Amino acid sequence: MRVWADTIKNFVIKFNEKAGTLLEEVIDKKGLMIVFINILCIYLKTDMQVKECYISTSGLERLDTLLNEIKIKIMRCLNILTIFMFDVRSFVPIRDSKCYELMPTLLPLVVSTMINFCRAPNIDLIKVLDVMPDLVPR
């Protein structure tokens, strides 16, 4: 699955680098978008796994690292596609694209992930983020 995600990421990044409208090839592929969403929804059911959160927090470190690496690649692709749809090609009728059609499925998933991950009592956010140590209250 890692190789699969790498291959798709290569296509999306190269289409994006070439500018123009090459990414239209991708945003119209509904099957591909569904696989993206299904990958984000993969998780191992454990007590540690935060509910309604696509970040893998199963507590099995190797599995979490592997799954989250893949999910980050998928999120990078989706980020590029979203920027393309709303910023770069805002004058094209994107509402007809399959990627746009799936936004109502994807966006609530992203929002609930952020909220549930940040609220999870078993997640040490300071440790996870490991950024801006000066802003962390002591």
Binding site for other proteins (CB under 8 A): 1, 3-4, 6-8, 10-11, 14-15, 18, 20, 22, 25-26, 29, 31-32, 34-35, 38-39, 42-46, 60, 62-63, 66
Rounded CA-CA distance 81/68 in Å is: 20
Of the pair 8, 94, the CB lying nearest other proteins is at: 8
Of the pair 70, 85, the CB lying nearest other proteins is at: 70
Q: Measured between alpha carbons, how far apart are the two ends of the chain, in Å?
A: 41
Rounded CA-CA distance 64/82 in Å is: 26
Of the pair 35, 109, the CB lying nearest other proteins is at: 35
Tell me the closest approach of the beta carbon of residue 130 to other proteins, in angstroms.
25
